[in-house]
Structure 1
Amino acid sequence: MAEGAPSPFTPGYGRKPAIFGGHGEELNELKAVFDTLDFGENHSVLVSGLRGVGKTSFLTTLQDAAREAGWLVISDDASAGLMSRVMDSTIPTLINEMTPATRARLTNLGIWEFSAEIEYIDRHRTVKPQLRTDLVALSTALGGTGGVLITIDEVSSGKVRLRELSKFALQVSHALEDGAQIMVVFAGVKVSLDALLAEEHTTFLRRSREIEFERLSAPETRRVFVETAGLGGRSIDADALDKLVSLAQGYPYLVQLAGDYAWRNDSNASSITLADATVAHDRAIRAVESRVISRVYGDLSDVDQKFLDAMAEDDDRTKVADIVKRMGVSDAYVQVYKKRLIDSGYVHPVGHGYVQFSLPYLGAYIRRRLAAEAHDGGEDGGWHAYPAPDLPS
């Protein structure tokens, strides 16, 4: 092994893991479409799951596979201005990256203006440009040898964003009806995807293939650690592997983060030791709490937070009847938020009348947060007892 070998673990946002854990079958089936153009149920795909479970890495892997197969890739997120970004920036960029022969096919379609050297100049505007027309043209220009992959990440349940997404989806559906070879993949938390499906013009998405990202099994987590380290030329000692698997709890982001920390603790050694895993344990938990857990909790409504606060009083599973008592509300009220949190993936049912946190360390984070608030006199750090004086007039 080379001295100071670089880490094969990839904890950075959206980076493709060297060894993909889970959903290998679905990934291979989607990749096969890029070679065969035999779509089956895969014209539209919905990928759901909480932060850090591998959705963006999954999209990145799909994008790379599509490009290798000669497909065009439109990749964006669901933030405001999606339609204009795709039509005014992404598609012109794709055209400029095409081979001259492929661009030449576009000249016969009368949609874009080209120079004598067949370089893209501007959109032909005898009619109002539409995304559906552009997508059909791009698909046609590939001459039956490829298609267009569209990936939209970070689907949000905000009303304004959903309206734009539904209009975008309508254009894609029309392009599909017109014969364009398209695979479109939307990714986000399940409650946001469900909100998108409830919008107008998203009928075709209701027949989408659904892929739900949850935490990996323990054997799969072990495999990812061992095979990833092996790619870098190192082994993992048995006790170190046990500690890393226990730490990661099947959470893909934690697998990459903990593996990276353990690797870098002594990158010159031939194996990752228990000492390396111990260092990784403390650093990874601090990092995942600040980068993921706290943000996940902060994204929730006040009532959602109170529901989880009530759950956090227990170390393991929580009886729903106890949540009702702790929140001081009716059972029917609690059931509404229980369903919402289950649909969102934050909690899951375990046995009759019990729920449990789905996200590792979320319960522990909430317990520490509540204890700190009680010690400090509330979220404002105790400043409610020292109001600021009025400014002089």
Structure 2
Amino acid sequence: MTTRALTEPSPFSPGYGRRPLVFGGHDDELSELSEVFASLDFGESQSVLISGLRGSGKTSMLARLQDAARDEGWLVISDDASAGLMERVMETTIPALLGGLSPDSRARLTGLGIWKLDAQWEYVDRHREIRPLLRRDLVALSEILAEERRPAGILITIDEVSSGKVRLRELSRFALEISHAIGEGANIMVAFAGIKIDLDALVEQEHTTFLRRSRELDFRRLSPTQTRHVLSESIRIGGKTIDEAALDLLVSVSQGYPYLVQLAGDYAWRSSGTNAVISVHDAESAHIRAVAAVERRVISRVYQDLSEKDQEFVAAMAVDEGRSRIADIVDRMGVSAQYVQVYKKRLIGSGYVQSDGHGHVIFSLPYLRDYIRSMSRERVDSPVSDDLENYPPRPVTADDGREA
């Protein structure tokens, strides 16, 4: 058993874009969306908007959908919302998908004048006699799939939606092409993932009306039961066991935040070394390292991205131990209630704060309160000093910097 534990890698995957071994939460939604791939009965799931704060599992959900679609013979177009999305999909992704079609299907596509293929039916170049449009590509592929693989369609997933003006313009054009293809009968499911405030901005664009009827999935923290399942099942599959007290501690440490669940589990696993059982000592070691890592990698960056007034709002919240009253935040910030509501709405849209009953808010991101408090203590108690005052700069003379 010791030899096995020594050679088995960690079953946890805290790195960005890595698929967790055990997916926590949203099982019903995943099952319902996967049913579309088998039946082509789209219902409310023709378009899906997946929102949530960073590290909440949105990218993992997209990956699960992609796997389920491929299992049913669907074609999958997967990308992010960075610059050049339309060009990448039309000039690289779709041509690559052609290779998975039969020679007869590729011959029929060539006959439509949309793609140019060589004698071996390999993609050569786009045929420019017909103006290339994404909608034409998608409709043609959908029609071929209907003939070749029944039932099957095209899944399009776009991650990291951004609300920057330039990005929104391209995303709007991209969404418009998809809506035209759907209108022409193409069997397509499209899923966009991002922070809610960015998805809301996308939906409000001029050419994205169809997205306003999308199915919405809001990714928040896992429940204690779900967290315990992800940790214990991952450890079991990895080939070890865990003390109940250690499992309780990891559940408490991770606070249901999916990225932190993977991070704390990974640290505990590695701390256990060649031992077959993860102990309380391993969980305590993971506690210290995981919280420090999530503060450095996520929370500090989230805080720095906030505007000055957003920072004032969360600082006013950090005074409280639990949820905060909006009336108290108004008093602490010294501004009007209407003014505070603007920043409340924006922070809720960003996913860092959530409503908690009428007139109250609470932090969504674990340890953000502690981070804000620690920053306040550092400003008061720890003046910046790196001992360089003992090494004053050398005075600059008239000869400095002159060539000999």
TM-score normalized by the length of structure 1: 0.93
* Runs of 4+, deviation exceeding 6 Å: 389-392
The answer as to whether partners of 1:139 and 1:148 remain within 8 angstroms in 2 is yes
Structural RMSD (CA):
2.4
Output one character per residue of 1:232-274: Cα deviation in whole Å (capped at 9) or x when no partner: 1222111001100000101111111111111111242222110
Instruction: State the AA in 1 paired with 2:159.
Output: D
- Give 3-state SS (helix, strand or coil) of 1:142's partner: helix
- Give 3-state SS (helix, strand or coil) of 1:113's partner: strand
1:129 equivalent to 2:132? Answer yes
Match of 1:235 in 2: 241
The answer as to whether partners of 1:15 and 1:60 remain within 8 angstroms in 2 is no
Q: Give the Cα–Cα distance (whole angstroms) in 2 for the partners of residues 101 and 368 of structure 1.
A: 65
Q: Give the Cα–Cα distance (whole angstroms) in 2 for the partners of residues 105 and 305 of structure 1.
A: 58
Q: 1:49 to 1:231 in 2, by over 3 A?
A: same
The answer as to whether partners of 1:51 and 1:296 remain within 8 angstroms in 2 is no
The answer as to whether partners of 1:307 and 1:337 remain within 8 angstroms in 2 is yes
The answer as to whether partners of 2:161 and 2:192 remain within 8 angstroms in 1 is yes
Q: 1:373 to 1:88 in 2, by over 3 A?
A: farther
Q: Decide which of 176, 184, 193 is 1:178's aligned counterpart.
A: 184
Instruction: State the AA in 2 paired with 1:355.
Output: V
Gaps of 5+ in 2: 399-404
1:376, distance to aligned residue in structure 2 (A):
5.2
1:382, distance to aligned residue in structure 2 (A):
12
Q: Give the Cα–Cα distance (whole angstroms) in 1 for the partners of residues 41 and 229 of structure 2.
A: 31
Size of the aligned set, in residue pairs, is 390
1:210 equivalent to 2:210? Answer no
Q: Give the Cα–Cα distance (whole angstroms) in 1 for the partners of residues 396 and 192 of structure 2.
A: 51
Q: 1:315 to 1:86 in 2, by over 3 A?
A: same
Match of 2:5 in 1: 3
Mapping 1:339-378, distance limit 5 Å: 339-375=345-381
Q: Give the Cα–Cα distance (whole angstroms) in 1 for the partners of residues 296 and 180 of structure 2.
A: 43
1:62 equivalent to 2:65? Answer yes
Q: Give the Cα–Cα distance (whole angstroms) in 1 for the partners of residues 353 and 328 of structure 2.
A: 15
Output one character per residue of 1:64-95: Cα deviation in whole Å (capped at 9) or x when no partner: 22222221111111111111111112112222
The answer as to whether partners of 1:19 and 1:228 remain within 8 angstroms in 2 is yes
1:311 equivalent to 2:317? Answer yes
Q: Decide which of 75, 100, 117 is 2:103's aligned counterpart.
A: 100
- Give 3-state SS (helix, strand or coil) of 1:143's partner: helix
1:371, distance to aligned residue in structure 2 (A):
2.3
Output one character per residue of 1:216-247: Cα deviation in whole Å (capped at 9) or x when no partner: 11111111111111111222111001100000
Q: 1:176 to 1:244 in 2, by over 3 A?
A: same
Q: Greater CA deviation, 328-337 or 243-252?
A: 328-337
Gaps of 5+ in 1: none
Q: Give the Cα–Cα distance (whole angstroms) in 2 for the partners of residues 333 and 390 of structure 1.
A: 51
Match of 2:258 in 1: 252
Match of 1:156 in 2: 162
Instruction: State the AA in 2 paired with 1:178.
Output: E
Output one character per residue of 1:2-52: Cα deviation in whole Å (capped at 9) or x when no partner: 232221111111222111110001111111222222211111000000000
Q: Give the Cα–Cα distance (whole angstroms) in 1 for the partners of residues 232 and 105 of structure 2.
A: 44
- Give 3-state SS (helix, strand or coil) of 2:82's partner: coil
Instruction: State the AA in 1 paired with 2:140.
Output: A
The answer as to whether partners of 1:55 and 1:213 remain within 8 angstroms in 2 is yes
